[in-house]
Structure 1
């Protein structure tokens, strides 16, 4: 067997770019918004608010009525990761929820 010829051709190092998040997107608080839907019972929605956010019954019912009457309610505001977690939990209970940047 003969020795193989060396491979000619340079292999370039991969370029690694860090995921960039602007200071603005990190600093601004985000809010968890629950939207009205025609499916869930009001008592169920209030119970979900108690379980997910630890709200007392009165506060949970206040937010539930706001959702029912105004079509939406801001339940919490803070860092984005925590807001995303709350939205995932609310989706687990089949509620319509989103996060929005606070302006």
Structure 2
């Protein structure tokens, strides 16, 4: 960091970077509305991870655990969907949050997109 007048600027930092520590999963109970009854503009968005020939399955599982706080079994199940089906929806919600999730996954080297089903 460097000071600029009375302000502080963070140089070269990523809000999604791995700091070496173990983050506790953050969970918030959410009631999902019935997607079919919502107008198109109110439907939730999804973050989709696509299969690639580069990342190891163990690494993708670890990323899902680290980024989303998923259990090993949930993360592995999603990773197997990515591997076998070519893609998996790993999170859903507001568009801005899904764009944030996709950006973080890009930081880990995964191929992720945001879609509205």
Same fold (TM over 0.5): yes
Per-residue deviation, residues 27-52 of structure 1 (Å, max 9, x unmatched): 12100100000000000000000011
Please report how far the alpha carbon of residue 76 of structure 1 lies from its aligned counterpart in structure 2 after TM superposition.
Answer: 1.1
- Normalising by structure 1, report the TM-score: 0.73
Q: Which residue of 1 aligns with 2:44?
A: 29
C-alpha distance in 1 between matches for 2:83 and 2:40: 33
Could you list the runs of 5+ residues in structure 1 that have no partner in the other structure?
1-22
- Normalising by structure 2, report the TM-score: 0.65
Per-residue deviation, residues 9-63 of structure 1 (Å, max 9, x unmatched): xxxxxxxxxxxxxx843x1210010000000000000000001111000000000
C-alpha distance in 2 between matches for 1:76 and 1:53: 8
Structure 1 runs, 4 residues or longer, greater than 6 Å off: none
Higher relative contact order (CA 8 A, sep 6+): 1
C-alpha distance in 1 between matches for 2:98 and 2:91: 8
Does the residue aligned with 2:113 lie in a helix, a strand or coil?
strand
Number of residue pairs matched by the alignment: 79
**CA RMSD in angstroms, aligned pairs only:** 1.1
Does the residue aligned with 2:53 lie in a helix, a strand or coil?
coil
